[in-house]
Amino acid sequence: MPDALPAASLVEALHRLLGPRGVLTDPADVAPHLSDWRGLYRGAAQAVARPADAAEVAAVVRLCAEAGVPVVPQGGNTSMVGGATPDEAGRCVVLSLARLNRIRDLDPLDMTMTAEAGVVLKAAQDAAAAAGCLFPLSLGAEGTATIGGVLSTNAGGNTTVRYGNARELMLGLEVVLPDGGLWNGLRRLRKDNTGYALRHLFVGAEGTLGIVTAAVLRMFPRPRDTAVAFCAVASEDAALALFRRFRDRDESAVRAFEYMSGAGVGLAVRHIEGVTLPLAAPAAHYVLVDLASSRPDAGLRDMAEAVLAEAMEAGEVLDAALAESEAQAQKLWRIREEHPEAQKREGASVKNDVSVPVSRVPEMIRRCAAALTALIPGSRPVPFGHMGDGNIHMNLAQPEGMDPAAFLARSHDIMDCVNAIVRDLDGSFSAEHGIGRLKTDMMEDWRGGAELAAMRAIKAALDPRGLMNPGKVLP
């Protein structure tokens, strides 16, 4: 199809459509939109479009389609896989959803919230809390990541073990399709079997099939009783045994079960002001367990004490600190939440966001750590993450004193090394961060054949000209 609008006049047309607040072209204003949180990529773009509502998003997409110009959707730009960063060609328009930041509706009886794509995750949590409810999705980047971003990556985070991934928290979507058509699927129904569940196509599609402009989200009753414990455990197996003890006692109360290694906690204490070890002595393995119930009389603190006492008796738990207040609970959580930032400050690191069946997590951590230190002597494995979901960030910090660039040049060797073990354990090479730009080369090997062919057919049907976030997800 010939392009009706020459690319050169696209920026002018965007200016006419969106006004001066709606388009960024000054290099200083555009720059933050051209690189990723990890600093792996630096791209280029004609402009950053900042529409203010869904109709304007549709108009921007239509203009770009007419000009044959690629569109890169961007929320909070916290992607761990370069998903929101444009390529270096400089042809694309970055479409920021930041100004679509309204909560359109919140209904404590339906337990739903209709939020626009640019609503920051923390703002959605706060809005739910103000209405006496809970929006449970929680991750380290929640002060910046957006509803559109978490749905487009099907983000997981700390509470997946109890409430599921972002996908499970979504009932309806509003989406701008690649031709600029606006689909209003903002239904807030618990049951709706009316053909293909289109909304689920866009969750986890990383902006390659369309632009999410709003979503109906599920809320839950507000927790009225909580308990948070930070524990030193004897081994990876002891950590898993402790998970089982809590789950067997009351599965519905386990809101988060996070594993940390001595290496990761050491980095958080070293680099992050205010983070201290709440136990008498350092250990090689730690667990953070967070319990919550909507019943005020759930007795979770007593339950935690009883389970920890049993686990100590069994030699699984070496020491533990139970939060006495909300402030203390937040302090314990900070040790875990600051892991990504602490690793960043320590120097170069390679992330392996992998999952295996929960029962295989200890074996995975041990085998990967041994293989990685054999591959790069002096490198430091920093495994941590969502043990209750079988999702460990099998990250590797560079050897002290090594040139960071030389270490990062080995990134794909490092990822291959971990992935070979993960495959052997029936796992996945990307548990929650997605594919983005970083992992497209792994798709053929892991998802090739019928699965990748079906994905390509869906992409070709919805976006035949390949203008939606090109170079991401599909190889």
- Of these, 74, 152, 395, 398, which contacts ligand MLT (CB under 6 A)? 395
Interaction site with ligand FAD (CB under 6 A)? 37, 72-80, 83-84, 97, 117, 139-141, 145-146, 148-150, 152-153, 155-157, 206-207, 211-212, 340, 432-433, 436, 469, 472
- Of these, 393, 410, 437, 439, which contacts ligand MLT (CB under 6 A)? 393
| Nearest to ligand FAD of 160, 379 (CB atom) | 160
Interatomic CA distance for residues 370 and 367, integer angstroms: 5
77 binds, among ligand FAD, ligand MLT, none (CB under 5 to 8 A by kind): ligand FAD
CB of 258 to ligand MLT, least distance (A): 8
380 binds ligand MLT (CB under 6 A): no
Q: Are 148 and 157 in contact (CB under 8 A)?
A: no
395 binds, among ligand FAD, ligand MLT, none (CB under 5 to 8 A by kind): ligand MLT
| Nearest to ligand MLT of 340, 471 (CB atom) | 340
Reference 301, options 273, 287, 322, 280; nearest CA is 322
CB of 352 to ligand MLT, least distance (A): 8
383 binds ligand MLT (CB under 6 A): no
Give how many residues touch ligand MLT by CB under 6 A. Answer: 7
211 binds, among ligand MLT, ligand FAD, none (CB under 5 to 8 A by kind): ligand FAD
Would you give the binding string for ligand MLT spanning residues 325-364, x where CB under 6 A is met? --------------xx----------x-------------
CB of 139 to ligand MLT, least distance (A): 6
Beta carbons within 10 angstroms of residue 367's beta carbon: 18
Binding residues for ligand MLT, rule: CB under 6 A, are 140, 339-340, 351, 385, 393, 395
